[in-house]
Chains A and B, each alone.
Chain A
Amino acid sequence: MKKFFLILIILSGSFLTAKEITVSPDKAPRTLTAALMQAEDGDRIYVQPGIYREGEIVINKSVEIIGENFPVFDGESQHQLFTVEADSVVIRGLVIKDCGVSFIDDKAGIKVLETKGCVIEGNRLEGNFFGIYLAKSQGTRVINNDIRSNATSEAASGNGIHLWYCKDADIHDNRIEGHRDGIYFEFVQDGNISGNFSTKNLRYGLHFMFSDRCEYRENSFINNGAGVAVMYTKNVLMINNRFADNWGSAAFGLLLKDITDSKISGNTFSRNSIGIFAENSGRMTVEQNDFNDNGWAVKIMANCMENVFQENNFLNNSFDVATNSRNNFNRFERNYWSAYQGYDLDRDGYGDVPFRPVRLFSLIVEQNSTALVLQRSLFIDVLDMAERVLPILTPETLIDEQPALRRIPRSSGDVTAGK
């Protein structure tokens, strides 16, 4: 509430005194830097189309910068471009490109440092080292930006949207392509990330650590180098996202490491080498997700405990569940498995014979990867069947007692975030 009043006061102040400044290539002020000198808090600066080469632009007043028809700010491959140091700055409708690579400081298209309530909206960032870099900022909104780069090596590239020690960030409807990590969070709290489209990034589509209580909805992470990695975090909500086409021996749709008390619901995992890889994670609810055509739908290590997988659809995965131990401390309930072959005599919609999602063959492949060539061989099917009847090597308690007979309908429908 206090914050609300603060904004109200700032706004009301701006109504009284706000003036408008127009920057254009033909009429003074010809540069944004000059315009910023004249400006005072609450002013609005319009930027006419043109190419502006001004090096670093430091914004230390609470102004609103609005590009008309996408004026271009060019860093000429050597300058950090926008540095925002004032609260409530708005940057809208600019093209920001080529800030250049640096191994000493994190050069970015837009850098927001220790501010409150800034808005970065509808910009196009092209070929920057870091795209949008937020540090120690609160309540920043990053909306509808198009962030592209063509990074070729992990060492010489930065992240599309990078947050460090931020609070209440709101990141939505951005498109990020060709950076190192699409979206990177470290020590971020209460973030809200929705409707973003992250693709073709070298490392992860989304990467976060130590970022408690964040919420991810309806994002798409497609064809990134190693998928999505989330680590060392509590109370995460991941809802209705799409994880697809992450291929490779170390590529995951979603890598969970030390994630606790979180909920993963309504997501679609398709055509990944590994859909979800969970390590040392606990008390998660994984429900109502679709796993289609993955190599391994779920790989869950034995150090994961008290996780519940319920009402998911496992369709046409080469391996449904794999693990590395005979012990299992997780529950699988009422999922639909396309590999299930049981029957339902009492007609309650759930199979009467429990389903064991861990195939013997997945253990064989784990030890002896060359054996993968025998996938779908009758010999292997016979082995799997024998193991299912009398489990000797696969975890005895990793079992779905009530496998659903019909595909579980998705409450929210398919996610088509992306542009």
Chain B
Amino acid sequence: MKALRKIIKYELQNILRSKWILIYTLFFFLLTDSLFRFGGSSGKVVLSLMNVILLIIPLVSVVFGVMYLYNSREYIELMLSQPLKRRTLFLGLYIGLTLPLTLGFLIGSGLPFLVHGVDIVAHQAIVFMLLLSGIFLTIIFVALAFLISTVHEDRVKGLGTAIISWLLFAIIYDGLILMITYMFIDYPLEKPVIALTLLNPIDLARILIMLKLDIAALMGYTGAVFEKFFAGSLGLFISFLSLILWSTLPIWIGSRMFERKDF
């Protein structure tokens, strides 16, 4: 535990020194703040912010995570020569990167909401859901990045895989869902589609936010099925279980591979 804490501490210092994280924080701060200043209605702020969270956070997390691990190659090799468990090192690196990214996002987009506080009350549930999805997506996509860079020795391959995996989760997956709904249009597809969305963290986050934004449109039959599932306690439990699985599984597999990896 002590070693883990030491690694995390070193990581935090290292990341803060690189200033990237400050830029990341500043980006979210300026974005949210300007949305408030120019966007007008609070509904619009939430909407634009949702798009950013669902797209930018996974992209930055996965690309930054992959690059970060490749750049720490020498440091990792150095640490591996020390009397230190590999798992501790891997987890230390992971937490050391996830923590500042999460905090950067939270502070960056949370502060403007506090400053322009009026709107929080009206959209409390949505803002909470937005921040929560941001946190989960950061954790999940850094974990994916760590898995990817452990699998691929080659940086270019690693970066390529990272970007493709982002494309897959953010865009292609939805195209597939649309295709499936058209292929089986004669069947009641609500439940299979719910199952499919549970498998994609970005979709899941999007739906949890959408349920709060588009509630009126969802009150038709199909929408009502989704609404009932995702707003019910069982549905919420399963959704969060899926998000938690998504954040732990890649890092668990990654750390096992890291333990066996030949450096």
Interface residues of A (CB under 8 A from B): 247-249, 251, 271-273, 293-296, 315-316, 318-319, 338, 364, 367-382, 407
Contacts and interface: CB of A to CB of B under 8 A. Distances in A.
B181 A368 contact: yes
Contacts of A272: 216
Given A338-B44, A370-B193, A377 B218 contact: no
A295 B182 contact: no
B201 to A, nearest CB: 13
A251 B215 CA distance: 14
B41 A338 contact: yes
Contacts of A377: 171, 174, 203, 206
B163 interface: no
A251 B219 contact: yes
A316 B216 contact: no
Contact of B217 (A315, A372, A380): A372
A276 to B, nearest CB: 13
A363 to B, nearest CB: 12
Q: Which label, helix, strand, loop or mixed, suits the secondary structure of the B interface?
A: helix
Interface string B187-226: 0011001100100000100110110011111111111101
A129 to B, nearest CB: 30
B206 to A, nearest CB: 6
B50 A376 contact: yes
B72 interface: no
Contacts of A249: 219-221, 224
Nearest to B55: A378
Given A316-B44, A375-B210, A295 B216 contact: yes
Nearest to A316: B43
B219 A248 contact: yes
A378 B170 contact: yes
Contacts of A316: 41, 43-44, 47, 213
A30 to B, nearest CB: 53
B177 interface: yes
B78 interface: no
Nearest to B223: A372
A273 B222 CA distance: 13
A364 to B, nearest CB: 7
